[in-house]
Amino acid sequence: MRDTPDAVMLFAAGFGTRMGRLTATRPKPLIEVAGKPLIDHALDLVTAQGPRRVVVNTHYLSAQVAAHLAGRDITISEEQPDILETGGGLRKALPLLGDGPVFTMNTDAVWAGPNPLEQLAAAWDPGQMDALLLCVPPENAIGHAGAGDFVIGPDDRAARGAGAIYSGVQILKTDGLADIPDRAFSLNILWNRMLDEGRLHAVSYAGRWCDVGTPEGIALAEAMLRGTDV
């Protein structure tokens, strides 16, 4: 089994309820920022990093996402009749992703700086890590409110607490998904096990990141991409 990631799972199944009327008739990954759907911003980064397999999960208005991605070398993992959350969705997609660790990436953020996947790949140490989370210092996180998610120790081990914000991108070993009994579950369950074993690590993103989870996030992300004050 390989120990470096060569596949990426993009999460695109959610309802996008914080977007209000904007997601009444279209899924959040197809909302445009700077003239480009959010999912295409993510896919530009994926293409540049070059994993061998790319999988996108879908649920809400799934046909629209599938039609948008048609003709590309991307596999769809459709979740029906129920949405499976991050953990259940990733486990369902494992036959499409192959063995070994994988990248996972949310599709509701925009980046300004180095490729986040490449930064993670350069820091990945499978001998020490079962997961490596990319986190953003609060001063570089645009459009995000809250106290943060993780404190990063001097050895890059992660601990829960007010500090850096999880960016939605990680490298993850998937072996532990098999024995979680629930069908739909969050990856937080797997992270908690890794925390207990000292195997959850994190690094700080070297650029800026904008959370596009609300309508207000669209203008903030466009300003960030223009390099203007946000």
CATH number at residue 54: 3.90.550.10
Is position 203 within any domain? yes
In the prediction, which pLDDT does 230 show?
A: 46
Percentage of residues of the chain with pLDDT beyond 70: 99
pLDDT digits (tens, 9 = 90+) for 72-123: 999 999 999 999 999 999 999 999 999 999 999 999 999 999 999 999 999 9
Asked if residue 55 is part of any domain, the answer here is yes
**Is 118 part of any domain?**
yes
Domain membership of residue 47 (yes or no) is: yes
Q: How many CA atoms lie within 13 A of 113 on its CB side?
A: 19
pLDDT digits (tens, 9 = 90+) for 205-216: 999 999 999 999
Residue 219 has pLDDT above 60, yes or no: yes
- The answer to whether residue 213 is domain-embedded is yes
pLDDT at 97: 98
| Threshold 0.85, pTM exceeds | yes
Q: What's the domain range around 122?
A: 7-226
- Widest CA span in the chain: 48
pLDDT tens-digit profile of 33-79?
Answer: 999 999 999 999 999 999 999 999 999 999 999 999 999 999 999 99
Query: Quick one: which H or E segment has residue 191?
Result: helix 188-196
Whether residue 1 is contained in a domain is answered as: no
SS3 content of the chain, % helix, strand, coil (to 5): 35, 25, 40
* Residue 162: inside a domain: yes
Each residue's pLDDT tens digit, 136-193: 999 999 999 888 999 999 999 999 999 999 999 999 999 999 999 999 999 999 999 9
H/E element, 135: strand 131-136
Residue 64 falls within a domain, yes or no? yes
Could you give the number of structural domains in the chain? Answer: 1
